[in-house]
């Protein structure tokens, strides 16, 4: 580490910003930016037209510009307000006070998220996820949780799994891209997650990185009425950073525990003099090991974005996120028998010759054209490409068997996968926005069409070594049956000989070394190509009369899946659904909106949609519905937002593991589930220098109908009943400690059961995190300490052979340099 700190010290010297003689002759323009009511607009901006010189108002609404002598045009702007221009004639050395008042513009909201957000706070005023147009979160009759890029940066959160702890009702299911929302599982492989509002998926095995994200948000409850098949718990939307019309540049370097090194860059601003072309480029490099044995991550991220303002009525945006990843696949920790503490949490069942190489790209193009002040058209296309190259030693989700067929609790049955596959997801959406007034009723109408498809083309293949050797030692048998013991090859103790050597939990080091797999018998495993597509049409009207708003929507979805795709027996199967959506919002006061909503969900389940041909099926579609009541409010001059809600969600035909020997991926449906809960969220600033985010959730998620009577009444797997989180940051702006900032947070997750088929559980936990910030001009030094009490915990798991431990105490030191 000595060399690392020397490197950081060198960067401090390199990026120091010494004054020079020319700057002494510059004029200083300063002042405050406020709205008509006198509220100071932190995050508002002033841009010197025709240059890349700009400044943003700080937390007390004041700004400072340094300019040489001459005539300049200053443009003052803030989201939701009218932009104004001021002409100034600068004299060398002059100090000019220029205060500005911006008027609110109710028509200034974007119809498509094309230009970036300028706010620098935890609080976000608007979202696109709920109505396919920018909507004040208070006016949306459904609960939304979110984390801004500022919060993610302050917490040092580099993966989505690190971010979701801030959301009420959201927790990790495993440490893959795999979450629980209001008791229902949502994962990245199920094609029910969104990027910029487009349906997409990830490789599932790795959580998405966050350095290119503006925010992560969750729309709670079924969202099928807007986005098609989705989890009833909610949908996760990752919003990428969009270009700004002012120049901002930053680079950062991080060093930390587990040999972690990261280098990130974020550049944005006008690409031409009239600011009609804006750009943003986010770059990232990561080389990190883990507290888990043999695990590592090497990632390269390239995420450019371009916004072209062709005219005041036409805008075009291009986004690309490319990630090249090299790592190993971590299948979790195994323990001996039912003793949760019998093996170290660092234990991974990997071997030295395992690898997971992935490449992912998400590219999108969006267009907005405004025909009149009332009518506009929006269209977007997105394509996701995923490529996987995997070699792994993994458990067979069971212990090895002795000659009597009993478990040998210190030996984990193993198998080997070698797999190559690609997946492609295409989305198109086109819709019209129309605003009209009929008498006293205002209408915001959205009508549109969606197309989506997913394909795993021909060429996907897998070799699998598993099971037990037959007596002749020429083949394998999937599982061991004691009464047929003469069919198996047996060792000197009479136990069946596995095809792949078992992992010995009492001899971990030898089990993790490079394995000689030439002695294992491999067989091809079917990875049939899959293909589905859907067409959908929808219409929605948000009506407003006085203090009352009503949201009425309906979506029709027609879904086509190919059975035995790309074979002579290929055939199409179809399903369809009408998906209504109803919501009411009542403005009780200038601070408080009360809302209610009813929505329905629908999700076809076939080999294509669950992205696992070995899961069985086809299965009946998942259907769901939700009733929610809540209140949203803003306080302290709109600096602080508070949301509370109660809900009930019901779902039919959820899939769970069938627990059939030799078929670890086989699924079965459970009849009906119900989730009831209460949520509470606070986000924003108590004072201009004191930021706060806090949440609490109670969730009672149970199986209410099942073909197996013993399952009725069980709490759903990895669905904690209670969760709570708090994070706060305070900046010191006066005195000898000026420039310092302190952050402190805690996260509580209740006890969870791991499966409806076993009684195994993992304990509750409370984590405490802290951060220290120090700003020196354009340089910020940040130190994050996580799990400072050294709590031993698990974020989730399937059973005691596949447990997912949380990280022990760890730290991260980050140096950030910001420049124009």
Write down the pLDDT at residue 119. 66
Average pLDDT over residues 212-219: 92
Q: How many whole angstroms separate alpha carbon 514 and alpha carbon 352?
A: 5
The reply to whether 227 falls in a domain is yes
Single pTM value for the model: 0.84
pLDDT, tens digit, 9 for 90 and up, residues 432-469: 999 999 999 999 999 999 999 999 999 999 999 999 99
CB 331 within 8 A of CB 348: yes
Write down the pLDDT at residue 713. 87
Domain count, the chain: 3
Write down the pLDDT at residue 132. 76
The reply to whether 672 falls in a domain is yes
What is the β-pairing status of strands 27-35 and 100-102? parallel
Average pLDDT over residues 29-42: 82
Write down the pLDDT at residue 607. 56
Same domain, 598 and 707: yes
Q: For residue 158, give the 3-state DSSP assignment.
A: coil
Q: How many whole angstroms separate alpha carbon 247 and alpha carbon 615?
A: 50
The reply to whether 692 falls in a domain is yes
Sheet with 193-195, strands from edge to edge, namely 144-148, 213-220, 234-240, 193-195, 198-200
Q: How far lies 158's CA from each of 173, 335, 615, in Å? A: 18, 29, 32
Residue 528 has pLDDT above 90, yes or no: no
Q: How many whole angstroms separate alpha carbon 76 and alpha carbon 86?
A: 8
Same domain, 301 and 377: yes
Closest CA to 556 of 580, 539, 578, 534: 578
pLDDT, tens digit, 9 for 90 and up, residues 367-418: 999 999 899 999 999 999 999 999 999 999 999 999 999 999 999 999 999 9
Where does the pLDDT of residue 109 fall: very low under 50, low under 70, confident under 90, or very high at 90 and above? very low
Same domain, 411 and 532: yes
pLDDT, tens digit, 9 for 90 and up, residues 249-265: 999 999 999 999 999 99
Q: How many whole angstroms separate alpha carbon 710 and alpha carbon 702?
A: 12
Same domain, 266 and 235: no
Full residue range of the structural domain in which residue 703 is found = 240-462+525-819
Closest CA to 152 of 95, 196, 214, 93: 214
Same domain, 163 and 41: no
Closest CA to 487 of 468, 506, 509: 468
CB 815 within 8 A of CB 781: yes
The reply to whether 363 falls in a domain is yes
pLDDT, tens digit, 9 for 90 and up, residues 753-798: 998 777 799 999 999 999 999 999 899 999 999 999 999 999 999 9
Residue 609 has pLDDT above 80, yes or no: no
Q: How many whole angstroms separate alpha carbon 200 and alpha carbon 214?
A: 17
The helix (H) or strand (E) run that includes residue 721 is none
Q: Which CATH number goes with the domain that contains 77?
A: 2.60.40.10
Residues with Cβ within 8 Å of 87's Cβ and at least 6 positions away in sequence, in order, are 71, 72, 73, 74
The last residue of one of the domains, among 207, 239, 271, is: 239
Same domain, 98 and 151: no
Same domain, 672 and 556: yes
Residue 618 has pLDDT above 90, yes or no: no
Number of DSSP helices (H) and strands (E) in the chain, helices first: 6, 49
pLDDT, tens digit, 9 for 90 and up, residues 455-510: 999 999 999 999 999 999 999 999 999 999 999 999 999 999 999 999 999 999 99
Q: Residue 511 gets which letter from DSSP?
A: H
Same domain, 175 and 248: no
Percent of the chain scoring above 90 in pLDDT: 63
Q: Residue 683 gets which letter from DSSP?
A: E
The last residue of one of the domains, among 239, 274, 306, is: 239
Average pLDDT over residues 552-565: 90
Other CB atoms within 10 A of residue 517 CB: 16
Residues with Cβ within 8 Å of 748's Cβ and at least 6 positions away in sequence, in order, are 722, 723, 724, 725, 764, 765, 766, 767
pLDDT, tens digit, 9 for 90 and up, residues 228-241: 667 788 889 999 99
Average pLDDT over residues 55-69: 83
Residues with Cβ within 8 Å of 311's Cβ and at least 6 positions away in sequence, in order, are none
Q: Which CATH number goes with the domain that contains 201?
A: 2.170.130.10
The reply to whether 648 falls in a domain is yes
Residue 810 has pLDDT above 80, yes or no: yes
Where does the pLDDT of residue 6 fall: very low under 50, low under 70, confident under 90, or very high at 90 and above? very low
Write down the pLDDT at residue 19. 40
Write down the pLDDT at residue 13. 42
The reply to whether 405 falls in a domain is yes
Same domain, 434 and 375: yes
Write down the pLDDT at residue 21. 41
Percent of the chain scoring above 70 in pLDDT: 91
Same domain, 216 and 268: no
The reply to whether 403 falls in a domain is yes
Lowest mean pLDDT among 124-133, 288-297, 555-564, 810-819: 124-133
Same domain, 306 and 211: no
Residue 94 has pLDDT above 90, yes or no: no
Residue 20 has pLDDT above 50, yes or no: no
pLDDT, tens digit, 9 for 90 and up, residues 573-607: 888 889 999 999 999 998 999 999 999 888 777 65
Structure tokens at 466: 């598993």
The reply to whether 46 falls in a domain is yes
Residues with Cβ within 8 Å of 85's Cβ and at least 6 positions away in sequence, in order, are 49, 73, 74, 75, 76
Q: Which CATH number goes with the domain that contains 256?
A: 2.40.170.20
Per-chain mean pLDDT for the chain: 88
Same domain, 158 and 293: no
The last residue of one of the domains, among 193, 224, 239, is: 239
Where does the pLDDT of residue 1 fall: very low under 50, low under 70, confident under 90, or very high at 90 and above? very low
DSSP-assigned beta bridge partners for residue 745: 727, 769
């Amino acid at each position: 580490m000595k060399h690392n700190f020397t490197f950081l010290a060198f960067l401090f010297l390199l990026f120091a910003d010494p004054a020079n003689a020319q700057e002494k002759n510059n004029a200083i323009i300063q002042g405050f930016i406020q709205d008509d009511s006198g509220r100071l607009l932190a995050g508002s901006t002033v841009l010197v037209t025709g240059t890349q010189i700009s400044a943003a108002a700080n937390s007390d609404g004041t700004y400072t510009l340094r300019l040489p002598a001459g005539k300049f045009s200053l443009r003052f702007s803030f989201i939701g307000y009218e932009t104004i221009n001021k002409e100034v004639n600068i004299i060398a050395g002059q100090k000019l006070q220029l205060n500005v008042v911006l008027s609110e513009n109710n028509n200034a909201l974007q119809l498509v998220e094309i230009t970036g957000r300028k706010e620098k706070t935890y609080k976000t005023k608007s979202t696109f996820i709920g109505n396919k147009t920018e909507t004040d979160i208070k006016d949306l009759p459904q609960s939304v949780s979110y984390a801004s890029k500022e919060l993610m940066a302050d917490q040092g959160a580099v993966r989505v799994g690190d971010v979701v702890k801030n959301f009420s009702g959201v927790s990790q299911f495993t440490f893959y891209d795999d979450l629980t929302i209001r008791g229902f599982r949502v994962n990245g492989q199920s094609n029910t997650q969104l990027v910029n509002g487009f349906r997409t998926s990830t490789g599932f095995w790795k959580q998405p990185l966050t350095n290119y994200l503006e925010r992560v948000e969750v729309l709670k409850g079924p969202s099928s009425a807007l986005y098609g098949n989705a989890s009833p718990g909610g949908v996760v939307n990752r919003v990428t950073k969009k270009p700004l019309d002012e120049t901002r540049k930053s680079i950062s370097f991080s060093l930390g525990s587990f040999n972690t090194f990261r280098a990130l860059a974020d550049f944005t601003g006008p690409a031409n003099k009239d600011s009609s072309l804006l750009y943003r480029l986010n770059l990232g490099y990561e080389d990190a090991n883990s507290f888990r044995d043999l695990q590592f991550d090497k990632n390269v991220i390239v995420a450019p974005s371009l916004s072209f303002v062709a005219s005041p009525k036409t805008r075009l945006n291009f986004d690309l996120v490319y990630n090249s990843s090299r790592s190993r696949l971590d299948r979790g920790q195994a323990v001996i028998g039912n003793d949760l503490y019998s093996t170290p949490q660092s234990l991974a069942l990997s071997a030295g010759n395992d690898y997971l190489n992935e490449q992912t790209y998400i590219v999108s193009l969006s267009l907005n054209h405004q025909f009149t002040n009332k009518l506009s058209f929006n269209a977007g296309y997105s394509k996701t490409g995923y490529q996987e190259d995997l070699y792994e030693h993994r458990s067979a989700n069971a212990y090895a068997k002795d000659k009597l067929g009993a478990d040998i609790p210190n030996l984990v049955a193993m198998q080997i996968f070698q797999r190559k596959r690609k997946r492609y997801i295409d989305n198109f959406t086109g819709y019209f926005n129309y605003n009209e007034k009929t008498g006293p009723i205002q209408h915001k109408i959205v009508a549109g069409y969606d197309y989506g498809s997913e394909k795993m083309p021909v060429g996907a293949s897998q070799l699998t070594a598993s099971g037990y050797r037959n007596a002749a030692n020429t083949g394998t048998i999937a599982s061991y049956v004691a009464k047929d013991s003469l069919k198996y090859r047996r060792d000197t103790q009479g136990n069946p000989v596995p095809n792949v050597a078992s992992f010995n939990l009492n001899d971990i080091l030898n089990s993790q070394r490079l394995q000689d797999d030439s002695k294992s018998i491999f067989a091809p495993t079917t990875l049939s190509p899959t293909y589905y597509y859907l067409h959908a049409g929808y219409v929605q009207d948000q009506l407003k009369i006085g203090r009352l708003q009503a949201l009425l929507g309906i979506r029709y979805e027609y879904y086509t899946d190919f059975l035995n795709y790309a074979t002579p027996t290929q055939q199409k199967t179809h399903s369809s659904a009408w998906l209504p959506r109803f919501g009411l919002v009542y403005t009780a006061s200038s601070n408080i909106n009360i809302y209610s909503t009813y929505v329905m969900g629908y999700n076809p389940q076939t080999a294509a949609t669950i992205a696992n041909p070995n899961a069985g099926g086809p299965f009946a579609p998942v259907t769901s519905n939700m009733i929610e009541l809540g209140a949203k409010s803003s306080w302290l001059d709109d600096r602080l937002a508070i949301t509370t809600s109660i809900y009930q969600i019901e779902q039919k035909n959820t899939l769970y593991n069938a627990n059939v020997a030799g078929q670890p991926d086989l699924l079965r449906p459970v009849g009906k589930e119900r989730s009831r809960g209460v949520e509470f969220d606070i986000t924003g600033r108590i004072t201009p220098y004191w930021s706060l985010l806090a949440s609490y959730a109670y969730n009672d998620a149970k199986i209410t109908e099942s073909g197996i009577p013993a399952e009725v009444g069980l709490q759903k797997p990895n669905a904690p009943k209670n969760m709570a989180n708090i994070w706060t940051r305070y900046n010191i702006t006066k005195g000898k400690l000026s420039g310092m900032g302190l952050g402190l947070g805690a996260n509580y997750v209740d006890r969870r059961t791991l499966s409806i088929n076993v009684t195994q559980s993992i304990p509750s936990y409370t984590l405490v995190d802290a951060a220290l910030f120090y700003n020196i001009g354009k340089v910020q030094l940040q130190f994050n300490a996580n799990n400072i009490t050294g709590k031993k915990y698990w974020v989730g798991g399937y059973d005691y052979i596949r447990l997912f431990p949380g990280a022990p105490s760890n730290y991260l030191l980050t140096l950030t340099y910001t420049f124009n």
